[in-house]
Amino acid sequence: MCYCKCFPCYRSFGYKHVLQNHERTHTGEKPFECPECHKRFTRDHHLKTHMRLHTGERPYRVIYVSIGYNLDINLCSRCDHCDRQFVQVANLRRHLRVHTGERPYNCEHCNAKFSDSNQLKAHILIHTNEKPFSCDR
């Protein structure tokens, strides 16, 4: 185990590959591309999860068994508003806010509201004057 440090934010990581994954949050690099739709991802397992939408793979199956009745349920979730599919239910929940207008994340410094926690985190930088990115030019 090594202790690798990220220089833009000075966070430390025990493994170099974890640092490399983290550094992509600063660079925006997305090296993993879907061969079907060309969407890009920061991590290989995000691409593998996404590929299930194209392949129809159902790694998570639930079989309900009752008296004389079997029901095999595919846990791939679909948005009722626009038919987008999501492998992870949490992503469907976040997506639904596009349609409902729900903004559950509130800024404690002003009246701004956001539908996604990452949007709030980016907004808070306005109040803290924190500048996590720097330009060498």
Mean pLDDT, residues 9-35 taken together: 87
Domain locations in the chain as residue ranges: 1-29
Mean pLDDT, residues 49-70 taken together: 63
Q: Is the Cβ–Cβ distance between 43 and 21 less than 8 Å?
A: yes
Q: What is the pTM of this model?
A: 0.45
Q: Tens digits of per-residue pLDDT, 26-35?
A: 888 999 999 9
135 pLDDT band, cuts 50/70/90, is low
